[in-house]
Structure 1
Amino acid sequence: MSDAPEEVAWQGKWITAKRRGKWEYVARARGIRAAAIVAIDADGHVLLVDQYRVPLGKRCLELPAGLIGDEAGHEDDSPFDAARRELIEETGYDCAAIEDLGEYHSSPGLVSESFTLVRATGLTRVGEGGGLADEDILVHRVPRAEIAAFVAAKRAEGLAIDVKLLLLLSGALLGD
């Protein structure tokens, strides 16, 4: 563990580049965190989304997710409030229940950001989804048994695959 002081190399509105000893890493500005949602409907379908991601230069297949505390009037939202709001915005589905599945770090050697993973059940279609006006989110309702084939097809189409989808693919990847 480094005893060196943390230095801010650069700070923008949303991210901060930091240095501690020999390590360089990125953090969310203002302590903003994220929530990711495993949304499963009564028929056993999982909701996935894809959207263009500037850092990747292409669309990415992902779990619905969003930032916590990034919007005016929502600075004090809990991860569960943010997850529900993002689920509705991105997919057009609301949920009856949200279960906390824990806090995770997706790339701890590069980014200090964590996300709270939740499972949303009791889904009801309440809108079109697709995100906010400046987002172009496509919604996919995929049977759980077909997740691996669906992800493989999207990868073959050239989409990036978010690391959080590994939780849905683990059985297929481990030979179960």
Structure 2
Amino acid sequence: MPTPETLFETRWLGLYRIGHWDFVRRPNSDAAVGILAITPEQEIILVEQFRIPMQRHVIEVPAGLVGDEVEFAGESLADSARRELLEETGYRAGTMVPLIASPTSAGMTSESTHLFHAKDLVRENGGGGVAGEDIIVHHVPLSGLRQWFADQEAAGKLIDFKIHAALWLAGINV
């Protein structure tokens, strides 16, 4: 692979060029995890955050970057997923089942997203993320998920497609 030319770089994001193609990359991570978590009560656990690039609130599966912080360098994908689930939602997973690994946006970034299905959940705290994050945790009954999504969209929020992908990959029909 040719060495990319650095066009611009900050602590969190860089813009690079190979040949005629410009793309972005995170200097500290090329991987992200997303976690499908369903409670024993058949509620999907989703998170909501204001996403600056979208200038809107986005409903998502719990997620995070892999190895982007020094203390988590070398952490496995599954361990990253466990940590992010606990930080964002307050749930600890007994089992973390890989669902898929896929390019996040192959024409724009080198990042891959690894989706997991968290099982055997135990609630330890209220979640909400770490310092600097403002995460709202939602528990949504699977039986009412489609209507809940419609209501959220009507309120101006965006729904991340990874929710649908993770449900389909886990064989959960809503």
2:47–2:59 Cα contact (<8 Å) kept: yes
Which residue in 2 is equivalent to 1:173? none
Distance in structure 2 (CA, Å) of the matches to 1:80 and 1:5: 30
Which residue in 1 is equivalent to 2:119? 121
2:57–2:157 Cα contact (<8 Å) kept: yes
Greater shift, 100-109 or 132-141, is seen at: 100-109
Which residue in 2 is equivalent to 1:141? 139
Distance in structure 2 (CA, Å) of the matches to 1:106 and 1:71: 20
**Structure 2 counterpart SS, 1:95:** strand
Which residue in 2 is equivalent to 1:35? 33
The change in CA–CA distance for 1:4 and 1:94 in structure 2 (over 3 A counts) is closer
Structure 2 residue 31 is matched with structure 1 residue 15: no
The change in CA–CA distance for 1:23 and 1:166 in structure 2 (over 3 A counts) is farther
Structure 2 residue 55 is matched with structure 1 residue 57: yes
TM-score (norm 2): 0.88
The change in CA–CA distance for 1:105 and 1:34 in structure 2 (over 3 A counts) is same
TM-score (norm 1): 0.87
Distance in structure 1 (CA, Å) of the matches to 2:47 and 2:134: 10
2:13–2:26 Cα contact (<8 Å) kept: yes
Structure 2 residue 89 is matched with structure 1 residue 91: yes
AA at the equivalent of 1:125: R
Which residue in 1 is equivalent to 2:99? 101
Greater shift, 101-110 or 113-122, is seen at: 101-110
- What percent identity do the matched residue pairs reach? 38
* Number of residue pairs matched by the alignment: 169
1:42–1:121 Cα contact (<8 Å) kept: no
Q: Which runs of 5+ in 1 are unaligned?
A: 171-175
AA at the equivalent of 2:77: P
Q: Which runs of 5+ in 2 are unaligned?
A: 169-173
AA at the equivalent of 1:11: E
The change in CA–CA distance for 1:109 and 1:87 in structure 2 (over 3 A counts) is same
2:128–2:135 Cα contact (<8 Å) kept: yes
The change in CA–CA distance for 1:71 and 1:6 in structure 2 (over 3 A counts) is closer
Structure 1 residue 27, shift from structure 2 partner:
1.2
Structure 1 residue 4, shift from structure 2 partner:
7.1
**Structure 2 counterpart SS, 1:30:** coil
